[in-house]
């Protein structure tokens, strides 16, 4: 009986050592913390095919805990809008700051994200009415004014709810997508002209709501582990 017991112990020994080694690896593994920076690929692609829009966006995030990240986006947009009785041009820059929470539990060594986040955003921009048509009297011919009118120093603030993913496709290289629902907190409008487009917010819909998304390529710069 002792002979068979010793044999079984020797057979189980490799599995025991493997389990201990795995437990050791799990205990000693440290997450990487660093700065991830990149660009939005969607905006320049749209700008290439659409003459009415020229824009770009830089994205970044910084890991502050196992699942929380500080995040920001910086961008610029130049948009030409066409309405029934007037055409306008909006151009300006914006910044968004907030946090992301990774809801995805990674396997050991993986750093993918399925996240939810919030942003506070601020934009400063100019609006130019390129031309407008006066239609006050339906019995008279329409009169078009082609003299541009520019309103500068306009601003807007809004909040965003963010849903997104980031997946590591190569070492330290991440491909991502995010969808955003925004709500304007306050904005400065020109006289007799509503802000129909705001850089960073995009098209303004009813109740001062709006939607946007980005498609990003970013690179992680590891700084330390813990």
How much is the pLDDT for 82?
A: 87
Q: Confirm whether 17 is domain-assigned.
A: no
Could you tell me if 18 and 26 are in contact, meaning their C-beta atoms sit under 8 angstroms apart?
Answer: no
Higher pLDDT, 217 or 84: 217
Q: Confirm whether 25 is domain-assigned.
A: no
Q: Confirm whether 189 is domain-assigned.
A: yes
Q: Find the domain containing 104 and state its range.
A: 32-225
pTM listed for this prediction: 0.82
How much is the pLDDT for 194?
A: 84
How much is the pLDDT for 117?
A: 98
**Distance between CA atoms of residues 69 and 218, nearest Å:** 15
Closest to 121 measured CA to CA, from 88, 86, 160, 84: 160
- Banded model confidence at residue 24, pLDDT cuts 50, 70, 90: very low
**Distance between CA atoms of residues 219 and 174, nearest Å:** 6
Instruction: Answer yes or no: is pLDDT of 202 > 60.
Output: yes
Contacts of 203 (CB under 8 A, 6+ apart): 196, 197, 210
How close are the terminal C-alpha atoms of the chain, in Å? Answer: 49
Q: Confirm whether 13 is domain-assigned.
A: no
Q: Confirm whether 206 is domain-assigned.
A: yes
Share of the chain above pLDDT 70, in %: 85
* Tokens read off for 1: 């009986």
Could you tell me if 202 and 213 are in contact, meaning their C-beta atoms sit under 8 angstroms apart?
Answer: no
Q: Confirm whether 5 is domain-assigned.
A: no
Q: Confirm whether 182 is domain-assigned.
A: yes
Mean pLDDT on 128-156:
80
- Banded model confidence at residue 12, pLDDT cuts 50, 70, 90: very low
**Distance between CA atoms of residues 112 and 104, nearest Å:** 8
CATH at 119: 2.40.160.20
Residues 205-221 pLDDT 10s: 888 999 999 999 999 99
- Banded model confidence at residue 190, pLDDT cuts 50, 70, 90: confident
Q: How many domains does the chain fold into?
A: 1
Residues 25-83 pLDDT 10s: 445 778 899 999 999 999 988 888 888 999 999 999 999 999 999 999 999 999 999 88
Instruction: Answer yes or no: is pLDDT of 17 > 60.
Output: no
Could you tell me if 219 and 44 are in contact, meaning their C-beta atoms sit under 8 angstroms apart?
Answer: no
Backbone angles phi and psi of 208, in degrees to 5: 60, 35
- Banded model confidence at residue 192, pLDDT cuts 50, 70, 90: confident
Q: Confirm whether 4 is domain-assigned.
A: no
How much is the pLDDT for 19?
A: 45
- Banded model confidence at residue 3, pLDDT cuts 50, 70, 90: low
How much is the pLDDT for 134?
A: 74
């Amino acid at each position: 009986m002792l002979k068979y017991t010793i044999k079984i112990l020797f057979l189980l020994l490799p599995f025991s050592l493997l389990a201990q080694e795995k437990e050791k690896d799990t205990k000693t593994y440290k997450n990487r913390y660093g700065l991830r920076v990149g660009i939005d690929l969607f905006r320049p692609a749209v700008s290439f095919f659409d003459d009415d829009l020229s824009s770009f966006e830089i994205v970044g995030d910084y890991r502050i805990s196992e699942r929380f990240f500080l995040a920001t986006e910086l961008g610029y947009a130049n948009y030409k809008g066409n309405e029934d009785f007037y055409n306008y041009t909006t151009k300006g820059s914006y910044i968004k700051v907030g946090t992301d929470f990774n809801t995805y539990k990674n396997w050991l060594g993986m750093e993918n994200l399925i996240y939810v986040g919030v942003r506070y955003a601020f934009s400063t921009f100019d609006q130019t009415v390129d031309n407008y048509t006066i239609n006050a009297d339906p019995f008279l011919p329409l009169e078009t004014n082609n003299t541009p009118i520019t309103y500068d120093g306009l601003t807007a603030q809004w909040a965003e709810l963010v849903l997104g993913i980031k997946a590591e496709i190569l070492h330290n290289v991440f491909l991502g997508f995010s969808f955003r629902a925004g709500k304007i907190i306050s904005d400065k409008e020109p006289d007799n002209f509503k802000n129909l487009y705001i850089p960073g917010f995009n098209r303004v819909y009813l109740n001062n709501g709006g939607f946007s998304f980005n498609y990003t390529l970013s690179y992680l710069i590891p700084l330390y582990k813990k």
